[in-house]
């Protein structure tokens, strides 16, 4: 089998890239080692920047998103027992974010992919990339007991942090930067109405908390917990009780509890790979970078990666120019590091770091006090939260 672009990974970044290329008439095949149901079963973030919703509009996969997505013009920051609203629209000239679950976005892209007639191979085992440093890269995989070879012009590694693409890059040509945080987020999903119509980011003496949502009737909550905690040790009642203790009295009173649909603990890390191009293989999304979930940058960064990559590949096929693919890594990394900085900074001021002593807590409080009482400080939060423009910085 032959195609122009082999896409490894059928998560949202791989599927979105496939749609962008399909719209431009560029043939592509997606290989995914898991089943489609498994991909849809992964619980992920749900805050979309304008650039991401614009990309969904561009590929025409937007009807349900605009019908069911919740547009948020701001969010609350809770510290020292008081809530302060960050007016995203007022501070950024009308920009906002949309709450729409990554699972739903992935489902929409899957359905569009099926209608497009392009090939997606699920349960592709033992995927291997070959000869990506030559003009004739190829991918091998096993399916139904047989080994298959996919010849291609380019390989797009959208296969996540543990995928084969980054692991296949030559160690001498790659640098990896990582920071692992000493805590995780215990998340709970429930069919209960959200405690507030917008998100609430909480810094309390007991630890960080986040009140998020997926719809008017489905909520997602998070608690900062030690990495040593086990999800099995947290009953639903224990979760709700701890969340109440971290909220302000009004929110604690309004909180509606119920049985969990899912509970899990996610570790927090910052991770970046340099470069993102190895010959004719490109990394995008989690294959090349991970951000802490504070600020909801992961999915949105993946979306801009594939926008840059699709533009570069379209330029190559339509204009026979390699300028876009030559500049892909540098362009992506500039945006990635800006988002990494914001997520690192936001994580740093909102979480407890007991090992750093009481002086850090005092400095965090002073930082938050400054931000809330400074229009420039609030604007800095707002413009980063809604997402910097694709051409920011040139």
Strand 260-274 vs strand 289-290: parallel, antiparallel, or unpaired? antiparallel
Instruction: For residues 56 and 191, state if they share a domain.
Output: no
What is the distance of C-alpha 292 from the center of its chain?
A: 9
pLDDT of residue 390: 81
Average pLDDT, the chain: 95
Instruction: For residues 229 and 211, state if they share a domain.
Output: yes
This prediction has a pTM of 0.93
Instruction: For residues 263 and 273, state if they share a domain.
Output: no
Listed residues 267, 293, 312: the one ending a domain:
267
Q: Which two tokens stand for residue 362?
A: 């005092």
pLDDT of residue 393: 60
Q: What is the CATH number of the domain that holds 118?
A: 3.50.50.60
Q: What is the pLDDT of residues 182-241, one digit of tens each?
A: 999 999 999 999 999 999 999 999 999 999 999 999 999 999 999 999 999 999 999 999
Task: Just list the catalytic residues.
Answer: 72, 201, 293, 297, 385
Answer for the pair 201, 47: CB distance below 8 angstroms, yes or no: no
pLDDT of residue 43: 66
Instruction: For residues 114 and 147, state if they share a domain.
Output: yes
Q: What is the CATH number of the domain that holds 201?
A: 3.30.9.10
Confidence of residue 356 (pLDDT cuts 50, 70, 90): confident
Instruction: For residues 262 and 286, state if they share a domain.
Output: no
Instruction: For residues 258 and 276, state if they share a domain.
Output: no
* pLDDT exceeds cutoff 70 at 97: yes
Distance (Å, rounded) from C-alpha 87 to C-alpha 74? 5
The 3-state DSSP class for residue 297 equals coil
Would you tell me how many other CB atoms lie within 10 Å of the CB of residue 302?
26
Tell me which residue range forms the domain holding 262: 181-267
The counts of H helices and E strands in the chain are: 13, 20
Instruction: For residues 42 and 151, state if they share a domain.
Output: yes
Number of domains in the chain: 2
382 in any annotated domain: no
244 in any annotated domain: yes
Q: What is the pLDDT of residues 155-199, one digit of tens each?
A: 999 999 999 999 999 999 999 999 999 999 999 999 999 999 999
Answer for the pair 200, 78: CB distance below 8 angstroms, yes or no: yes
Strand 119-121 vs strand 28-31: parallel, antiparallel, or unpaired? parallel
Instruction: For residues 50 and 11, state if they share a domain.
Output: yes
Q: What is the pLDDT of residues 1-43, one digit of tens each?
A: 999 999 999 999 999 999 999 999 999 999 999 998 888 887 6
Distance (Å, rounded) from C-alpha 166 to C-alpha 289? 11
50 in any annotated domain: yes
pLDDT of residue 202: 98
Instruction: For residues 209 and 109, state if they share a domain.
Output: no
Instruction: For residues 237 and 306, state if they share a domain.
Output: no
Answer for the pair 187, 314: CB distance below 8 angstroms, yes or no: no
Q: What is the pLDDT of residues 121-130, one digit of tens each?
A: 999 999 999 9
Listed residues 225, 247, 267: the one ending a domain:
267
381 in any annotated domain: no
Instruction: For residues 161 and 290, state if they share a domain.
Output: yes
Would you tell me how many other CB atoms lie within 10 Å of the CB of residue 197?
12
């Amino acid at each position: 089998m032959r195609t122009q672009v082999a896409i490894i990974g059928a998560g949202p970044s791989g599927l979105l890239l496939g749609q962008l290329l399909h719209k431009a008439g560029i043939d592509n095949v997606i290989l995914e080692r898991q089943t489609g149901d498994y991909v849809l079963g992964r619980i992920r973030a749900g805050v979309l920047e304008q650039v991401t919703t614009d990309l969904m509009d561009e590929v025409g996969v937007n009807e349900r998103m605009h019908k069911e997505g919740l547009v948020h013009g701001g969010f609350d920051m809770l510290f020292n027992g008081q809530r302060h609203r960050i007016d995203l629209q007022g501070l950024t000239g009308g920009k906002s974010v949309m709450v729409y679950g990554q699972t739903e976005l992935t489902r929409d892209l899957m359905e569009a992919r099926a209608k497009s007639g392009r090939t997606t191979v699920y349960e592709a085992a033992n995927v291997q990339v070959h000869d990506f440093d030559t003009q004739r890269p190829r991918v091998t995989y096993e399916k139904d007991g047989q080994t298959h070879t996919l010849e291609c012009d380019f390989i797009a590694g959208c296969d996540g942090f543990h995928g084969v693409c980054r692991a296949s890059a030559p160690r001498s040509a790659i640098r990896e930067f990582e920071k692992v945080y000493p805590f995780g987020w215990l998340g709970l999903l429930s069919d209960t109405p959200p405690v507030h119509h917008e998100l609430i980011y909480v810094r309390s003496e007991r630890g960080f908390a986040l009140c998020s949502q997926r719809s008017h009737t489905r909520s997602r909550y998070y608690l900062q917990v030690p990495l040593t905690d086990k999800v099995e040790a947290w009953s639903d009642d224990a979760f709700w009780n701890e969340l109440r203790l971290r909220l302000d009295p009004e929110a604690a009173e309004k909180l509606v509890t119920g049985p969990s649909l899912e509970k899990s603990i996610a570790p927090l890390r910052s991770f970046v790979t340099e470069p993102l191009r190895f010959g004719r293989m490109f990394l995008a999304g989690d294959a090349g970078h991970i951000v802490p979930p504070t600020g909801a940058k992961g999915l949105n960064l993946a979306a801009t990666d594939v926008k840059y990559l699709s533009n570069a590949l379209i330029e190559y096929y339509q204009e026979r120019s390699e300028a876009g693919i030559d500049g892909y890594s540098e362009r992506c990394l500039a945006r990635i590091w800006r988002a990494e900085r914001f997520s690192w900074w936001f994580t740093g001021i909102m979480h407890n770091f007991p090992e750093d002593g009481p002086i850090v807590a005092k400095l965090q409080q002073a930082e938050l006090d400054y931000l809330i009482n400074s229009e420039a400080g609030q604007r800095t939060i707002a413009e980063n939260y809604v997402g910097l423009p694709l051409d920011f910085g040139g």
